[in-house]
Amino acid sequence: MQNIHSPTHSLDLNIVIIGASHAGVNLAFNLRQQGWLGSITLIDSDPELPYHRPPLSKKTLQASDTLSTPLKAEKAYTDNKLVLRLGQTVTAIDKQANVITLDDGSRLTFDKLVLATGCSAFIPPIPGLSDTLDEAGNPQYFAMRTFADAKAIKAALNNSTNKQVVIIGGGYIGLESASSFVALGADVTVIEKQDKILSRVTSSVMSDFLTQLHLDKGVALHTGKDVVEIGHQGNKHLVVCSDGSHYPADFILVGVGVRLNTQLASDASLAIEQGIKVNDVCQTSHPDIFAIGDCTTHFSKIYQRWIRLESVQNAVDQAKSVAQCLTNKAPLAPAVPWFWSDQYEYKLQIVGLSQGYDELIVREDSPTQFSVWYFNAEQLLCVEAVNNSKAYVLGMQAIKQNLQVNKQVLKDTTTALTKTSLLSE
């Protein structure tokens, strides 16, 4: 994809941002901070004041009062002259006329348009799943993507008879939710189709550690099982697998993946390949339309390949990049991907991407503190640090600055990890 930069910049243009989560909200405020004087409109189908999403499966679920954590106070939008149109959905983009159409029939013109449409939960077509209802006819199967989802899940848990929860999918959302359910006294079962949890995103080392962690906390974790049907027996729902095994549930959490919200971009004939394709300043194949966040795919100068990231870090960094571009500021340096996950008393911090590694080194600093270092030859690709912020920080420095890692120091746990001892030009 060629870099297509706008030939002119103006600070008094009309910008419309579709999507008011981390990416969209950060872009709006960054634009104001960088001196954008024109109108900024944020549109989102979620009626809730824009909120932090990572806490949904953790603090929000475990809190006694189910409250969202706003990204910004409502007054901040007013003070920065940002127009919020919440609970509204954009149905079409006319890229020739620079006009969008909303579900109420209204139309908005734009000089610049930004798609921050993110992802939606993928709900597989499992027979019987849509019939998983309580006595009042309310659905008893849920995803964990929105604040409304978290509220409904918490209500289902509080109203359940035996607090039996079955989670379909052993990804990060499923595992974080499992740890929260355990903290709330639930009887939790996790069913994963692959032979190992997180098999697509991490090594056996981390997968085995997290598997044992959840088993030790009382979670019934079953791998290599394919859910084929949801049966119903009295007030109970039965999650049935292809091997004939079945697991009772008061309600079901589905965490098997996401569906990219790229339909608007597709209908507007923007370039799409495993996400909306963007250049180094997040510009799409149309010069007046940008895209940021989970819905995008971009070429990583660090890893020299096209990647798509689902992370707050990527959403925030891409928002900054677009703000820099639209206010004619210098482009930002390539960002190193990072992620985190909280499960029980363990914090997992990940920097970089492990795909393509041919060697890994495990360094155990204590029974509750270790790190996994992924290499391709001498290049450090990724570090996964468990309760080990020092390993995470050093890994970030090594990848960002392309520094050499002394593997012998890494393997020798009697030698303290420092930038001087571990890293070199």
Domain range list for the chain: 15-46+53-118+261-326, 129-258, 345-424
pLDDT digits over 270-301, tens only?
A: 999 999 999 999 999 999 999 999 999 999 99
Residue identified by tokens 């571009």 is: 325
Q: What's the average model confidence in pLDDT over 364-387?
A: 96
Please provide residue 28's backbone torsions phi and psi, each rounded to the nearest 5 degrees. Answer: -60, -45
The per-residue pLDDT of the chain, averaged, comes to 95
CA angle 414, 416, 422 (to 5 degrees): 115
pLDDT digits over 326-352, tens only?
A: 999 999 999 999 999 999 999 999 999
Closest by CA position to 277, among listed 291, 297, 259: 297
Residue 59 backbone class (left: φ over 0; alpha: ψ -120 to 50; beta: rest) = alpha
Side-by-side strand order, sheet with 276-277: 276-277, 296-300, 305-307
Q: Is pLDDT larger for residue 8 or for residue 103? A: 103
Rounded CA separation 202/37 (Å): 44
Strand partners, 289: 113
Q: How many C-beta neighbours within 10 Å does residue 78 have?
A: 11
Q: Is 212 exposed, middle or buried (0-12, 13-18, 19+ CB in 10 A)?
A: exposed
345-359 b/e (C-beta count within 10 Å ≥ 16 → b) = eeebbbbbbbeebee
Judged against a pLDDT cut of 80, whether residue 383 lies above it is answered with: yes
Q: How many C-beta neighbours within 10 Å does residue 95 have?
A: 19
Domain 345-424 classified CATH 3.30.930.10? no
User: What integer pLDDT is reported at residue 7 of this predicted model?
Assistant: 39
User: What integer pLDDT is reported at residue 302 of this predicted model?
Assistant: 94
User: What integer pLDDT is reported at residue 394 of this predicted model?
Assistant: 98
Rounded CA separation 46/26 (Å): 17
Assign a CATH topology to domain 15-46+53-118+261-326. FAD/NAD(P)-binding domain (3.50.50)
Tokens linked to 411:
């393997």
pLDDT digits over 97-137, tens only?
A: 999 999 999 999 999 999 999 999 999 999 999 999 988 88
Tokens linked to 40:
């900024």
Closest by CA position to 338, among listed 405, 298, 397, 296: 397
- Looking at domain 129-258, its CATH architecture is 3-Layer(bba) Sandwich (3.50)
Judged against a pLDDT cut of 60, whether residue 371 lies above it is answered with: yes
Judged against a pLDDT cut of 90, whether residue 419 lies above it is answered with: yes
Q: What's the average model confidence in pLDDT over 180-203?
A: 96
User: What integer pLDDT is reported at residue 9 of this predicted model?
Assistant: 57
Count, residues in the chain = 425
- Name the CA dihedral angle for 128, 134, 137, 138, rounded to a multiple of 10 degrees: -90
